[in-house]
Structure formats: C-alpha cells, structure tokens
Structure 1
Amino acid sequence: MIDYLDIVGTFVFAVAGAFRATRHHLDLLGVMVLAVATGVGGGMIRDMLLGATPVAAIQSELYLGVCLAGGLVVFFASSRVATQWNRVMIMDAIGLGVFAAIGAAKGLAFGLGPIGVMIMAALTATGGGAVRDILVREVPAVIKHDFYATAALLGGAALLGADALGWSSWVQIWTAIGVTSGLRFYAMTRGVGLPKVNVSKEGNA
C-alpha cells in the first residue's frame, strides 16, 4: 500500500512540477527536469539524510518513469491543464499529505525521535518543490505559501500521535494524510496562514 501511495504522490507532484515549467515557457527537457525534481526530490533528500542509499528513486526505474509520464502529459496537454489549475492544486494538496505520511513513517522506522520524524515528513513533502522553485529562480513555496510545510509538520505529528495510541501502521498513514491534506485544503479555501513580516521599503515594520 505504501509503495502504491508513493507512486501516486510522485505522479501528482511531477504533474505540478511540469505545469510550473510550462508557466516559465521551458522546452521539453525543462519540463522533464522540473517533473523529476518535484516528483522525487523530497524523497531523495530524505533518503540521503537517513543514509538509505542508494535512494529509492534510483533503485527502481518506476519512479523516474512515473515522473516522465507526468511531464509528458502536461507538455502535450498544457493548454487543457492550465484551465484545470484548481484541480492541480487539489492534487498537490493530496500529494503533500501522501509524502508527509510516507516521510514520517520512514523516519519512525529508522528510529528517529519526534522532531526528526516531523522533519522527515516536511522534507519529503516539500523538498522536491523547493528544488523546483530554486531551478526557476523563485522563492521556494515552502517558505512562502501559507500552511504548506506547516501542514506537513502537523501531519507528521499526527502520525506520531497515532503510533503512541497503538494504532496500526495503515491507520497511522491515513491519519497523517488526512491531517496534512485537510489542513492544506482548509488553508487554501479559507486563506488561513501563519503571520508574515511586513516591512516597508524604508525598512520600518
């Protein structure tokens, strides 16, 4: 089940990454690069930090294949995808939940403490998007978008809570997905977010 969810999350994030490439008018190679970076970047960062090498994304060609498939779908149907951006954002929120849950579960399996588990959740869920944004010279969404990384951190905390209650691993995973995606959906629809620093051009807050 986790492998299946990982593939779903990879495809969803690859589509979101490829769509970002089309908004920057990149060529086919650029679309593929952003699709791969977004789809597997977070998981690769997580695995390297955990010492789980070779990383999962290069142990199986399936992950890269899924990313390339997502990139091709967007490249050849970019105009149609552009009109469905709201659905892409919904898919992105689901992918955020899936990757946060997988990252937290892997951190727990490696014996990390609560903070480490939550960090693995956030890194897995947002690392690929951060790499994507850096490649196109944008401020990473992880430090700009309301309740993006925060939702992933809280999803990791939810998995820890479910584990402490003795719930099964599958219930833990779905709890983390529900909390992360639910918070992201709520933030998207209600405009909820963390406080931001407001500084005028003169440097006065």
Structure 2
Amino acid sequence: MFTPSVQHGLDLAGIFVFAISGALLAVRKNFDVVGMALLACVTGLGGGLFRDLVIGAVPPAAFTDLGYLLAPLAATVLVFFLHPQVERINRAVMVFDAAGLGLFCVTGTVKAYAYGLGLTASAVLGLATAVGGGVVRDVLANEVPSLLRWDREVYAVPAMVGAAAVALLIHAGRLNGATSGAAAALAFALRLLALRYNWRAPRAWHRRSRRREDGGGEA
C-alpha cells in the first residue's frame, strides 16, 4: 500500500506533531526541559510502541530508527524556544494533537494490516495508535485523559472514523497517498469541528446525575 519511505515519512510526521502537543502541554504545566522532552517522547511514541508490540514488529521502530527519537527531541527544542504566548498554548496543544490523531489513525491501520491483521482489527489498532500517546501524556501530566472525559469534546470518535475510512479504502483497493491523506484530514477536521462546536459523546441513557464531575452518588 505504501512504500517503506512513505510509511516512514508519515510516521515521523505523526510523531513530530504529537510530540509538539506533548511539549506544549508541559509548558502549560510549567515543567522544565526534561519534563518537556519526556511528554514529547511519550506522546509521539507511545501509540506506535503499543502498535508494534501488538503486531509483533519487534524491536519497535522507536528503538531501531534514530529518526523516531530525534523527531520528539526536535519538537521539544522548537517548543522550548518558540512556544506561543501562554494564553494561546492550550489551543495550540489541541490543534497539534488533532493533527497527530489524524496521521496516526491512518499509519496505525495501514501498518497493522500490512502485518496480517484483518480490516476490523487493523482499524481498532489504528485507533489505539492514535489515542495511546495522548492518554499516557495526560496521565503523566496529572490530567484525566481527554479520551475518558464526558465534559470534553469527542476525541476517539474522529480517530475511529479515520481508521474506518482507511479500512474501507483498503477493502475497495483504493488506498493511496491521496486517499490516505484525505482520511487523515477527515479525522483532523472532525476533531477540530468537535472543538469548535463542543460535540460530545452521549452518556448513559436517562442518567439522572446533575454533577459536573462524577465522584459520587446521583443528585
């Protein structure tokens, strides 16, 4: 489906934009440069590490290709010197996170299928690739992962749509550079629209609690 060089380039692009979101979150949390580098690395590499371990691509690419380590470090340096004004950091985090989400749901699905998984399993692993690094990032930054928060805009759904679109393209024999880019753009756009219009996933049917945060009984 993709030549190794194209797959490699897409992986590095996803790692870089995800790593920027991790480093920006570290700035917002007032972490030092070590904390910035750590959040950049786990955000950029976490989902791909999980994917590679599941499909048996060991040792994972993050440990065999220097570029996979240099990409988040380069993102750290960029953010360290050129991060936006403080009041703009939160928006930048979400935009770069959405870009990484779009890229990784594509590359994760494609790589899983190339290693012999079925279309459904490949799409699921594409979703895990897209959201895994962000979950680890939020946990390390002492935040509830966006994936689990009902009061945040939908996060996993755009990645699901992008991964499903890739699986359908593979099934139809239509996956190429242009269509995969369109699938990534679709997931990216859906995430940005969710942020813009506050789209949220529904909670349990007829749930009676009026609490803004779930921490106890029902009101």
1:114 and 2:116 are equivalent in the alignment: no
Report the CA distance shift for 1:77/1:162 in structure 2 as closer, same or farther (over 3 A): same
Identity of aligned residues (%): 37
Report the CA distance shift for 1:202/1:139 in structure 2 as closer, same or farther (over 3 A): closer
- What is the CA-CA distance between 1:132 and the residue it aligns to? 0.9
1:99 and 2:104 are equivalent in the alignment: yes
- What is the CA-CA distance between 1:85 and the residue it aligns to? 4.5
Distance in 2 of aligned mates of 1:40 and 1:24: 20
- What is the CA-CA distance between 1:148 and the residue it aligns to? 1.4
- What is the CA-CA distance between 1:143 and the residue it aligns to? 1.9
Task: Give 2:3's aligned residue.
Answer: none
Task: Give 1:183's aligned residue.
Answer: 190
1:63 and 2:68 are equivalent in the alignment: yes
1:170 and 2:170 are equivalent in the alignment: no
1:72 and 2:86 are equivalent in the alignment: no
Distance in 2 of aligned mates of 1:181 and 1:37: 20
1:171-196 C-alpha deviation (Å, 9 max, x unpaired): 44224213211211221222112113
Distance in 2 of aligned mates of 1:177 and 1:65: 23
Verify the 8 A CA contact 1:158 1:175 in the aligned structure 2.
no
Give the helix-richer structure, 1 or 2: 1
Give unpaired runs (5+ residues) of structure 1.
Answer: none
Question: 1:132 is matched by which residue type in structure 2?
Answer: R
- What is the CA-CA distance between 1:16 and the residue it aligns to? 0.5
SS in 1 for 2:218: coil
TM-score normalized by the length of structure 1: 0.90
TM-score normalized by the length of structure 2: 0.84
Give unpaired runs (5+ residues) of structure 2.
Answer: 1-5
Distance in 1 of aligned mates of 2:53 and 2:105: 17
Distance in 2 of aligned mates of 1:167 and 1:91: 28
Verify the 8 A CA contact 1:74 1:81 in the aligned structure 2.
no
Distance in 2 of aligned mates of 1:82 and 1:7: 28
Task: Give 1:193's aligned residue.
Answer: 200
Task: Give 2:41's aligned residue.
Answer: 36
Task: Give 2:22's aligned residue.
Answer: 17
Distance in 2 of aligned mates of 1:181 and 1:66: 20
Verify the 8 A CA contact 1:118 1:154 in the aligned structure 2.
no
Match of 1:146 among 131, 153, 159: 153
- What is the CA-CA distance between 1:138 and the residue it aligns to? 1.4
Match of 2:163 among 149, 153, 156: 156
Verify the 8 A CA contact 2:50 2:132 in the aligned structure 1.
yes
Verify the 8 A CA contact 1:105 1:173 in the aligned structure 2.
no
Residue correspondences, number: 205
Task: Give 2:137's aligned residue.
Answer: 132
Worse-superposed segment, 16-25 or 75-84: 75-84
- What is the CA-CA distance between 1:20 and the residue it aligns to? 0.9
Report the CA distance shift for 1:138/1:44 in structure 2 as closer, same or farther (over 3 A): same
Distance in 2 of aligned mates of 1:192 and 1:80: 27
1:108-161 C-alpha deviation (Å, 9 max, x unpaired): 112222331121111111111111111122111222243211111111111111
- What is the CA-CA distance between 1:84 and the residue it aligns to? 5.5
C-alpha RMSD over aligned residues: 2.1
